[in-house]
Copies of this chain bind each other. A is one copy, B any other.
Amino acid sequence: MSNNNSQSVNFSETFLNQLNGQPFPASEKVFLNGSDGIQVPMRKISQSDTLLESAQGKISYESNEDIYVYDTTGPITDKNCFVDIHQGLPLLRKPWIAKRDDTLEFIASNNPVPSANFEPQTTTCLRAKKGSAVTQMAYAKAGIITKEMEFVAIRENLNRQAYQSELLKTQQKGESWGANIPDEITPEFVRKEIAEGRAIIPANVNHPELEPMIIGRNFLVKVNANIGNSPVSSNIEDEVEKLVWSTRWGADTLMDLSTGDNIHQTREWILRNAPIPIGTVPIYQALEKVNGIAEDLSWEVLRETIIEQANQGVDYMTLHAGVLLRYIPMTANRLTGIVSRGGAIMAKWCLAHHQENFIYSHFEELCQILKQYDISISLGDGLRPGSVYDANDEAQFSELRTLGELTKIAWQHDVQVMIEGPGHVPLQMIKENMDEQLRHCYEAPFYTLGPLTTDIAPGYDHMTSALGAANIGWYGCAMLCYVTPKEHLGLPNKEDVKQGLIAYKIAAHAADLAKGHPGAQIRDNALSKARFEFRWEDQFNLAMDPMTAREYHDATLPKPSAKKAHFCSMCGPKFCSMKLSQDLKRDHKAEQVSLKTVTGKDIQLAETQTDDGFKSMSQKFKEQGSNLYVNAENEE
């Protein structure tokens, strides 16, 4: 390894000061209380009042409820907390883990000396006492509801019980394609889902900073962001800044895919500052250890690397255990061969040695390591298609079936599992991916990269893939791995990370709405109401990206008064349909409606004082005027 331990890490003070204690506009971090001191963070967005004007011009106000939003940002947006990146986050889970009394503390021999200006709060590691399994799955199977399970149950409910407004409780009927989403997520439901392998809580005992989250088909669809340096670019500062930035834009988990220098130190800084699960692909670092020569890899080098990362606190690891020797030739006639890095490395090793994939052949030993830390295994799809042309082929689905076999083995060891999926798949072939995965992998959570639905738009692959991600999320995919605009072209910078995350948060949310996830529509309804009532500030504040929404508005109408205007720049006051529509609703609430139809018949309607009156007017018209069309010539 080429760690440069003395490297000085200087963060942009401006950037950190901007974020520390600074949630989004009109927002505040609040905590929902669970049992025994559990505090689950949510972001609360305040709204202004609705101004009501009667037909007689009388003004009154009606308040609008606070909106609660799932919060991935961690302590840094808590105004009562100052996060010093050089020390890391508070150790939320430390007492939970200690209380279980099934781990032992030790000093890892292979841990490099920390960077000069980095003072983590703990330098010891934990792993299971001999013989015990410390995984959420082991507890779940034993009927134990952990703190982590209760935490995610509260988190998933989005504080729905707080709402009084019927509007906010109302949503469209979903189509969940066989998912089983309860009206209320209980800790017991979480336990059962984990015991049966349908969901995972990635939570290494060495990552006490983690705020637990759950990945499963019957929960909110999650989003993963990839960061990581590469041999040609990026450094530790950039990566930690990207972590904080990613959580700000809603990353539920983050993979550190570093392949350049300082892999260990970069990961250490990331983990100590991560309120979300961190994943890695250990073969990348293992390859560095053998100087980049795939043929020189071995199970021993990988095992050492896995243990090194396990001791640091990596929550889930992608391991390409399903790239079997006999599947590799199936890629020969592909247009784009093997596009997974891990897959290509394993394939090269297998062919060079004429031996079976050593992760596959040591899979049980691997599980015995992972269960000592509660590291979830993310079974990598090393043979995923790299182009629309290669989608859903024999190589891909053969590997998928092997991942299903391995899932069963991991579960025997109480190791939590998710299954990685493609890749590049046109729209009409996406559902088959989900269906095959559910069938062959026993409903273990699916975690896909996109998929990209076309290959013709490099530079916009966050979009080509968000189309696929929204659909596969709707069909049942539990977590969507983002793609940034730089995919296929270069390394993402901060802006790319943001763009990728927003595209994927949109996809995940569109999927939640489509599945009919309880409460998913609350924020949509609140924002739509704000829009219709010209509450511009609330519209911005409720938006996924409040700053950009405001900036776009101000680009045309910058004056503060425009934010109280009952129109906007698109149409101007005369053409504002919403203003017209509001006027209509108001003006016709309290008047005697007399309607002359084209048939010349007068229809007298009762006083339409209320919306119900408006409704009965509609009903009357339906009965009397079911076919009003009259030939224009006859009429004149």
Most buried by B among A344, A505, A585, A617: A344
A523 interface residue per 8 A CB criterion: yes
Most buried by B among A287, A339, A360, A593: A339
- 15 CB < 8 A contacts A-B: A172-B426, A287-B574, A329-B608, A329-B615, A344-B584, A348-B580, A361-B632, A387-B531, A455-B531, A456-B524, A459-B549, A460-B503, A460-B506, A463-B503, A490-B569
Count A-side interface residues using an 8 Å CB cutoff: 163
A471 interface residue per 8 A CB criterion: yes
Contact: A514 with B331, CB < 8 Å? no
Residues of B within 8 A of A338 (CB): 577, 580-581, 584
Contact: B552 with A584, CB < 8 Å? no
Interchain CA distance A85-B328 in the complex, whole Å: 58
Interchain CA distance A361-B332 in the complex, whole Å: 66
| Copies of the chain in the assembly | 2
A548 interface residue per 8 A CB criterion: yes
- Give the Cβ gap from A248 to chain B, nearest Cβ, in Å: 16
**Which of A16-24, A29-37, A76-84, A538-546 lies at the binding interface?**
A538-546
Residues of B within 8 A of A386 (CB): 528, 531-532, 577-578
A26 interface residue per 8 A CB criterion: no
A345 interface residue per 8 A CB criterion: yes
Contact: A513 with B175, CB < 8 Å? no
Contact: B429 with A389, CB < 8 Å? no
Q: Given A287-B575, A335-B532, A531-B488, A456 and B523 touching (CB < 8 A)?
A: yes
A61 interface residue per 8 A CB criterion: no
Contact: A502 with B331, CB < 8 Å? no
- Give the Cβ gap from A503 to chain B, nearest Cβ, in Å: 6
Contact: A388 with B524, CB < 8 Å? yes
- Please provide the chain A residues from 313 to 348 with a CB less than 8 Å away from any CB of chain B in the complex: 324-333, 335-341, 343-345, 347-348
Residue interface mask A445-489, B partner, CB < 8 A = 1: 000000001111111100110110011001000000000011011
Contact: B326 with A506, CB < 8 Å? no
Most buried by B among A348, A524, A568: A524
* Of B173, B467, B516, the contact of A506 (CB 8 Å cutoff): B467
Look across to chain B and name the residue whose beta carbon is closest to the beta carbon of A524: B455
Residue interface mask A551-576, B partner, CB < 8 A = 1: 11101110000000000111111111
Contact: A455 with B545, CB < 8 Å? no
Interchain CA distance A31-B391 in the complex, whole Å: 34
Residues of B within 8 A of A345 (CB): 575, 577, 580
Q: Given A466-B463, A594-B354, A632-B361, A474 and B580 touching (CB < 8 A)?
A: no
Look across to chain B and name the residue whose beta carbon is closest to the beta carbon of A528: B387
Residues of B within 8 A of A457 (CB): 502, 505-506, 543-545
